[in-house]
């Protein structure tokens, strides 16, 4: 039985890898969704585990991008349920972050703020710098959607600084949104004001930027 389960997990992990490539680098949501459905079918006999929780999470991401927001919500909720049952704080926080992004898409900024700050506290406690960088991406989107252009520009400055510090790169899937967001803010704020706000965010340490966000949250 253990050998059979290992084989099933191997198949599902391969399908999950393909779906991840489809989503982040190929921008083929149909292929990503098909690979994830196949992975979910393969793992149906395994019950709740980290692999199933990850698959549900990725399915929510794909559904968000294709505009099927009801399915996205259901997948994120199921993923969160499984991560919490496993006691995995990091997995739970990552889902919370994506629930925040979904709420932004729905125009529910109060829910978005609640989800993002929950993820922020966990990633801060775990000192997960990569996911904190991803989280500031979401905060920039939230501020921009609410019309807080200067705040959004500061958050993009934090993202840019963190990506450089970590030696990472923004996946093609998100680079378009990053460049579009910056172009829009530069247009609305003007060159000088945007550059000043962006630079201000870039000079903040991750710790200071995170603390500032939490202070703003506690004051609201």
Query: Structural domains in the chain?
Result: 1-87 (1.25.40), 112-220 (no CATH)
Mean pLDDT computed over 96-109 = 96
Euclidean distance between CA atoms 139 and 185, whole angstroms: 14
Query: How many angstroms separate the Cα of 157 from the Cα of each of 12, 14, 132?
Result: 37, 36, 13
Q: Does residue 22 contact residue 28 with C-beta atoms inside 8 Å? A: yes
Q: Rounded to the nearest 5°, which phi and psi values hold at 171?
A: -60, 150
Per-residue pLDDT reduced to its tens digit, 159-168 = 999 888 888 8
**Is 80:61 a contact under the CB 8 Å cutoff?**
no
Report d(CA 32, CA 43) in Å as an integer: 17
- 11, 42 in Cβ contact below 8 A? yes
Task: Kindly report which listed range (5-14, 97-106, 130-139) carries the lowest average pLDDT score.
Answer: 5-14
pLDDT at 47 over 90: no
Question: Confidence band (pLDDT; 50, 70, 90) for 151?
Answer: very high
Asked if the model's pLDDT at residue 130 lies above 90, the reply is no
Let me know: does 46 contact 9? Beta carbons within 8 Å.
Answer: yes
| Pair of tokens at residue 206 | 């991750």
User: 22: which DSSP letter?
Assistant: I
Percent of the chain with pLDDT over 90: 70
147: left (phi over 0), alpha (psi -120 to 50) or beta: left
219: pLDDT strictly greater than 60? no
Query: Does the structure show a pLDDT above 90 at 14?
Result: yes
Mean pLDDT (whole number) for 25-31: 93
> What is the average per-residue pLDDT within 4-17?
84
| Mean pLDDT confidence for 37-53 | 86
Q: Write down the residue that tokens 């991750």 correspond to.
A: 206
pTM of the model: 0.90
Helix axes 2-21, 50-66, angle to 10 degrees: 20
Residue 72 has pLDDT above 90, yes or no: yes
pLDDT value at 38 more than 60: yes
DSSP 168: -
Confidence of residue 200 (pLDDT cuts 50, 70, 90): very high
Enclosing H/E stretch for 210: helix 206-219
Query: Residue 71, exposed/middle/buried by CB under 10 A (0-12, 13-18, 19+)?
Result: middle
Instruction: Please answer whether residues 66 and 37 qualify as being in contact, where contact means their C-beta atoms are separated by less than 8 angstroms.
Output: no
Q: Give the dihedral of Cα atoms 163, 31, 66, 111; nearest 10 deg.
A: -50
3-state helix, strand, coil in the chain (%, to 5): 90, 0, 10
């Amino acid at each position: 039985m253990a050998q059979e389960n290992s084989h099933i997990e191997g198949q599902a992990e391969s399908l999950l890898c393909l779906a991840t490539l489809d989503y982040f680098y190929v921008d083929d949501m149909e292929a990503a969704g098909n690979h994830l459905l196949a992975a979910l079918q393969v793992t149906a006999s395994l019950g709740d585990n980290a692999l199933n929780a990850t698959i549900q999470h990725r399915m929510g991401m794909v559904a968000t991008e294709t505009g099927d927001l009801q399915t996205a919500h259901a997948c994120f909720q199921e993923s969160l349920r499984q991560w919490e049952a496993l006691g995995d704080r990091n997995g739970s926080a990552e889902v919370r972050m994506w629930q925040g992004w979904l709420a932004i898409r729905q125009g529910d900024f109060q829910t978005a703020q609640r989800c993002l700050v929950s993820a922020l506290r966990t990633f801060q406690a775990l000192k997960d710098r990569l996911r904190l960088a991803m989280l500031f991406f979401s905060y920039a989107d939230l501020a921009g959607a609410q019309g807080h252009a200067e705040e959004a520009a500061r958050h993009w400055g934090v993202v840019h600084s963190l990506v450089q510090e970590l030696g990472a790169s923004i996946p093609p899937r998100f680079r378009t949104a990053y460049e579009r967001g910056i172009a829009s803010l530069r247009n609305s704020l003007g060159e000088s004001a945007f550059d000043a706000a962006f630079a201000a965010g870039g000079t903040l340490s991750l710790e200071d930027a995170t603390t500032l966000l939490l202070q703003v949250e506690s004051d609201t």
